[in-house]
Amino acid sequence: MHIRLSFLAVLCSTASMAQAETIKIYAAASLTNAITEIAKKYQEQHSETKIVPVFGASSALAKQIEAGAPSDLFFSADQDWMNYLVQKQKVSAKHVHAMLSNDLVLITPKTSTVQFKAVPQFNFAQSFQGHLCTGQMESVPVGKYAKQSLTKLGWLPNLTGRIVGTDDVRSALAFVERGECQAGIVYRTDAMISQKVKIAGVFPNSTHQPIIYPLALTSQGTAKPEAVKFYRYLKDQTQSKIIFKQYGFGVKG
C-alpha cells in the first residue's frame, strides 16, 4: 500500500510538472543576474509556471523575435530595438513599459592606473594602451551609447583601429576581465558584478541618449495568462524592484 501511494505521489508530481506553463523572456545580457534571481523567486511562489530566460544583445534578440522565435516577453536595453518590434507588429505599443535606467561607465582591470576625465580636452586615446572594448557600435545598445559619448566628447577619431566591438555587453566585460582590452565601456550594473575590474569613470548622461530599459509582452505573450502575470510581477511587484535596485539599476515608476 505504501509503495502504491508513493507511486501515485510521483505520478501527481510528474503531472504537475508537465502542466507547468513555460514562459520565455528574451532579455538584454546586462539583465542576466537580476532576471535569473527574479525568475527563481517567482517560480518558488508560482509552481505552475516555468520561466525560461534567453539572454543576449537586444539587437540579436529583437531579430530572433522578428524571425518568429517563441518569446513571450522582451526586455530591451534601449528603446530603439523595442520600437523596431513595434513597427514589425511583434509588440503592441500599449504593452511597452519604460522599466529601468542605467549609467555608462569606463572600466579597466583592477590593477590599472588609467585616469579618466569626461571633458573634450582630456586626451582619452593616450590615457590607456591597447584596445577599448564595448558592444558593436552600430547595433548593440551599449556600443551605440558608447559611440554617442565618444563622438560628443570628440574622442572617437583618435581611437580608429583600437575599438573592439563585441556581441553583447557581457562579452566586453569579459575581455577587460581577462586583460585582452585595457579599457571597456559597459553599464554600471555590469561593472558592479565583477571582482576583476573597476570603474575608472562615468560618462555624463548629457553625452548619450537616456539609457532606458523597456519591458513588453510580445504578441505571443499577450495570449498567455501566465505571461501576463509574470509581466505584471516584473513591472509592479516590490520584490522585483528591490532586486533590480540591488544590482544597480534605477527603477522607474
Residues within the annotated binding site for molybdate?
30, 58, 169, 187
Which cell numbers in the block locate residue 70? Answer: 517563441
Q: What string of H, E and C letters represents the secondary structure of 65-112?
A: HHCCCCCCEEECCCHHHHHHHHHCCCEEEEEEEEEEECCEEEEEECCC
Q: What angle do CA 124, 172, 65 make, to 5 degrees?
A: 130
Q: What distance in Å separates the CA atoms of residue 193 and residue 125, rounded to the nearest whole number?
A: 27
Residue 221 sits at φ, ψ, to 5 deg, of -65, -30
Which cell numbers in the block locate residue 108? Answer: 579597466
Return the amino acid letter for 237: Q
Q: Which residue numbers belong to the known binding site? A: 30, 58, 169, 187
CB 102 within 8 A of CB 133: no
Residue 251 sits at φ, ψ, to 5 deg, of -105, 120
Return the amino acid letter for 91: V
Contacts of 38 (CB under 8 A, 6+ apart): 233, 234, 239, 240, 243, 244
CB 201 within 8 A of CB 106: yes
Q: What distance in Å separates the CA atoms of residue 34 and residue 27, rounded to the nearest whole number?
A: 10
